[in-house]
Chains A and B, each alone.
Chain A
Amino acid sequence: MRPAHFALILLALGAVALWATFIEADGRANRLAATREGARALVARLQLTDPVLFTEARYTRHLSQADLHSAFQDHPLAFEHFPSGSLVPPPAGLLARYAHLD
């Protein structure tokens, strides 16, 4: 086999593998959908509002329910004590995350 054919076949195989990741991802997502339905039902039943990503402080455990004025809300201008604070975006006002209701 000439080198060009070999290289093109390898690239084509790679492209097929890339396409296969989309198919596999779809299949796995569908398989996991049944278990996710259980979790969704729990969210609806318990009226949960936040995923359990950081449990160290109330404003990181329930980020969406936290006080408006700051993500780091022990007092205004407070430095963040908790490590996940560094992974949380700046205060809502700066990002305009909240709907304006006035």
Chain B
Amino acid sequence: MRTWIEKQLYLIDFALASLARKKAKHFGLLLLFAALVFVLASVSLYTHALRRETQSLLAASPEIVLQRLVAGRHDLIPPGYLERLGTIRGVQKIQPRLWGYYYDAVVKANYTFMVAPDMAIARGEIVVGPALMRARGLAPGNGVSFRSYTGELFTFIVGDVLPQASELVSADLVLMHEADFRAFFKYPEGHYTDVALSIANPQEVKNVAKKLLNQLPDSRPILREEVLRTYASLFDWREGLMLALLSAAILAFVIFAWDKAAGLSAEERREIGILKAIGWETGEVLSMKSWEAILIALAAFLVGYLAAYLHVFHQHAFLFEPVLKGWAVLYPRFALPPHIDGLQIATLFFFTVVPYVAATLVPIWRAATIDPDAAMRL
């Protein structure tokens, strides 16, 4: 074993010396390889962390949101509808929601106006999301006017601003008293936007949704599971979109690496011929050349991955953030808690390091098995 280790150390020494003979070429390859790993790892780390964060926040969302549909579109919940829901077994709590959209021409952004029944907001007061506060330059105690859809001007006092830590889900919110909401939107009394339902047994959510559909055929129950799936698919889609855009760069690298690894130069063939002529075994030549490829690929993977980690979790992924997070006038600012998926990193390793090392071996094996005299003459 000791002899084997000693032999490998000599082979690594030789491989390093061989790499050093063409410093610029190998350094360029290392940089390019590391840049590719950096880009792929950044996309993967950012998307995974964003996916995990959204899933973790939305795990607290209502188990079922029930909408009413009219001609295939979302409509208001009329009076009497809630009473019919109460008769369905398994429904623990029924909470009608009041919310809607308001386009603010001042900053050209949409706000979500919402009634927060358990937040004790006084009439004439609003509680705003942090991004809205920034966009309109508001602070607690300031007055702000909105022109309603009837043309009437309503002035509200900002009672409070929602915590910055919740910005991912609250950036554009305007919370208000129910009477203010109904007056602002001329919302008919007894009508609601939709209904949030709590289900006693989490295993029964789907069955309750089926019962809801049977009893209220004009309703559309949206399960929490579907909400989570929607966002999982959104981030998968965007990760895929980003990778599709990067595919040209990936392909360019593959061609470059293949050209470098698969097409041995005359000089390299001569080197292999000389090594064989002075008594190296085919296995030793293969080991030495494998070490060259392994050293380059491992170094590039580590440099690329570590740079991606710093870029994503310490520099807010400034290079890819607009594409991966989306954009809006009310852009939420939030610190993304890092989540690294070991399997994802292993996959990245498998698809970058392994193919490169494998690609180098075939031509070297072919060159190392021919006669040294022929190899030197090629």
Contact = CB atoms under 8 A, between A and B. Distances in A.
B179 interface: no
B101 A58 contact: yes
A29 B339 contact: yes
Nearest to B310: A21
Interface string B291-332: 000010011001101100100010000000001011111101
Contacts of A89: 233-234, 236-237
B209 A99 contact: yes
Given A7-B16, A42-B169, A42-B170, A51 B97 contact: no
A11 B302 contact: yes
6 contacts: A39-B168, A42-B166, A47-B62, A47-B65, A97-B226, A99-B206
Given A21-B309, A36-B337, A52-B167, 19 more contacts: A4-B13, A11-B295, A11-B298, A14-B299, A18-B305, A32-B337, A38-B166, A39-B165, A48-B61, A48-B169, A49-B58, A51-B168, A53-B326, A54-B326, A61-B101, A61-B172, A64-B230, A92-B230, A99-B209
Interface of B: 9-10, 12-13, 16-17, 53-54, 56-62, 65, 67, 72-74, 95, 97, 101, 109-112, 114, 116, 118-119, 129, 131, 162-163, 165-173, 175, 194, 196, 206, 209-210, 213, 220-223, 225-227, 229-231, 233-234, 236-238, 241, 295, 298-299, 302-303, 305-306, 309, 313, 323, 325-330, 332, 335, 337-340, 342, 345
Given A29-B338, A88-B237, A101-B210, A46 B116 contact: yes
Contact of A3 (B13, B72, B111, B119): B13
Interface in A56-86: 56-58, 61-65, 67-69, 83-84
A29 B325 CA distance: 19
Contacts of A52: 112, 129, 131, 167-173, 328, 330, 332
Interface string A17-46: 110011011001100110110111111111
Given A11-B299, A35-B165, A36-B56, A99 B237 contact: no
A59 B268 CA distance: 60
Nearest to A88: B234
Given A18-B306, A64-B231, A28 B338 contact: yes
A47 B95 contact: yes
B162 A42 contact: yes
Contacts of B9: 2, 4-5
Nearest to A92: B230
B169 A39 contact: yes
Contact of B222 (A2, A28, A48, A65): A65
Given A2-B13, A67-B72, A88-B234, A51 B220 contact: no
Contacts of A102: 213
Contacts of A101: 206, 209-210, 213, 221
B227 A50 contact: yes
B323 A36 contact: no
Contact of B225 (A44, A53, A99): A99
B328 A84 contact: yes
A-B complex: 9 closest residue pairs judged by Cβ atoms: A14-B302, A25-B338, A35-B165, A4-B12, A89-B237, A39-B166, A52-B171, A64-B227, A44-B60
Contacts of A33: 337
A84 B227 CA distance: 18
A20 B313 CA distance: 14
Nearest to A16: B302
Contacts of B101: 58, 61
Contacts of B340: 21-22, 25
Contact of B57 (A36, A57, A63, A99): A36
